[in-house]
Each structure stands twice: as structure tokens, then as C-alpha cells.
Structure 1
């Protein structure tokens, strides 16, 4: 089934959220809601990069470990990571131990710090919000990229970011409410107007 799925609670949801309770909780409380604050944006950017080639559920189940490993996604702290920190991260079974992705997160932290002089990561990404929102009725109609995600990818790469391809950036835009890809009929559709500040523990 690719359209909204009605759960036992009587609420219709995007089909990817109809199974695992972790996915459902994420769908109902976070996905598609705006976030604010540099750490929240750096976290989402980093986790989307780590997700590449893996399931999002894998990342969600390791999320607390990622936060602990990367200092709550404090960009200044991660930007200062050295070779000893890299080795610590690559030995941490609680996260995804991929050298390229670990190096990318450290590199991106440094780019986040530099980007403050241009208004900061949050403002930068918001500049690529599409003028019109998609209106998918089935999962098959949900895009994997957009002209805006392609442009955002190119712009971030010019600022020194890595692992920020168009598909990854579209996923980021979906997750943070810049794009509302909740299916028409999903109870969360259109529910991303109120900023949702993540609590990074």
C-alpha cells in the first residue's frame, strides 16, 4: 500500500510510519516539523549523511549514541576533534563506524563554524525553501530530489560541506519542514507550522 495507512488508533499516516513504533513516533512528533538552533540543524545534517545507504530506523535507534559521540552536535566541539577522536569514533559500536562519514562530520562542523560569518547554517538552508509545496497522495509520488535540493547541495559544497548530495539535502528538507511531504490524508499533513526545538541531551 502506498497511500496513507490508518493505524489502530484511527489516525492515517504515511505508509513508512505504519509499522515500527520508533518510525511512527518520529513521524508523529518530528518529521516535517521546523527545528531551530545551530546544533539541531547540524545534527540533522549529520544524521542524514550517516543514513546514506542505510535505513533511517538504524539511525534513529543509534541517535542517542550519535549525540554522545559528537558532543551533542556542538559545532565548536566537533570542529576541534583530532586523530584521537577519529579513532575513538571508529571504535564506537554505538554509531555507524564509517571513516568517510566520520571525517565528513568533523569537516562539516568546521564549515558550520565558518558559515556563521554569513548568517549561520539555519539561515543559509532556509534560503532554499521552495515557493510551492508538493501535494503527494501516494508514496510513489514523493520525490527524492528537487531543484531546490540540487541548488542547496551545490551551495553547501561551495561552503566546504561534504556528504550533502541532492538526495540527502531533499531528505533534510523533508525532515525539517522546509518541504511538507506528508501524504494528503496523513494526519500530520500541514502540521509543521510551529517551530519544534529539539532538546539535545
Structure 2
């Protein structure tokens, strides 16, 4: 016979075990993406800059074009309320962005032509900090420098999430709002899963110890 004290402890641990198991089941069924919708793959506009070749010089020129485009687009689009406003601005200014890119190339002593394309393009998986843009087709502005045979660079043009430090050529990812449809890396979910397993295992061991022990 259990004493009243042991009975109370056993029932309490069993109830805790059931609650944790239920929470684990609910957590497993929840989407990984943030709960508050904001931007998703259907209202992002990405930026894709393709270098003329893979020479060091042409790769550096690609980054110069990147800096010019992001500086202007970030300044103009940070006040856009939605993707439609961003599209309206692009429709009016795509040619001026192209000219700005060509002017920078000329100033660098490499007057390559720049071809601008605006449409839907295929992109691979891409990680920005703790966020992942899954593989798929995205609306994007693509700038092709010269022969367009070099390695490319991409980020997000709208919302203006990719901020470039022109002084040192670095880049940072800044999420200005939750990104619905974008996910966090797998390790965050794995870490949570392991923690739940640890708690469940500890509860089971405690319950088994109480059941096998003698009366209090």
C-alpha cells in the first residue's frame, strides 16, 4: 500500500508527465515560422547582381554595383508600405538604377554595359543570419554586368532588409518585421526537442524510483 504522501507524489509526477507529453505533441504540430504574418515569398522583391566574370577585378566591380543599388533602393523603399508601392517605384526607376550602375562602372575605369531584368527567377536556399529563404521562384531585380558569366550576389531589395556597410564592404541582415513563410534553421527545433526528452526521461526515472522504493 502506498502512503498518502507517496500516492500524492506519484500522482503529481504522472500528471506532470502527461502535461509535458501533451505540450510536446502540440509543439510538434505548430508551424516553425513566426506566428505574425508580415513578409513572405510572395511579397518579397530580391536583388540579384551577376558579375561579368570571375576575375578578382570583375568580382570587385560586382560589389561596387551592389553598393550603389542598395544605397539608392534602401533610401527610396524604406518608406514603402507594401510590395505594390515598391513595384511602382521600380517601374519608374529601374532605368535610373541601371544608369547609376553603369556610371559607377565607368568611374571605376570599366565601362561595362548593365542589363536590367525584372521578373520571377529561380533561387536556391539562402540563409540570412537566423532566417532561411527556401528554394523557389521569387520576384527579383537582376542586374547583369557585361558578359554575365561570373559568380552572383543576392539579397532582399524589398523590404530593405539587407544593409551594406559601404566602408568595409560587409553586409548585414536586419529583419524589420516577422517573416511569414521563412523558417529558422533546424538546430533550434532539435534543441527544443532534446530538452523535452530530457524532462520526460527525468520524470520517468523519478516515477520508477518511487514505485520501487519501500514505504515512507
TM-score after normalising by structure 2: 0.27
| Bigger helix fraction | 1
| CA radius of gyration, larger in | 2
> Greater strand percent: which structure?
2
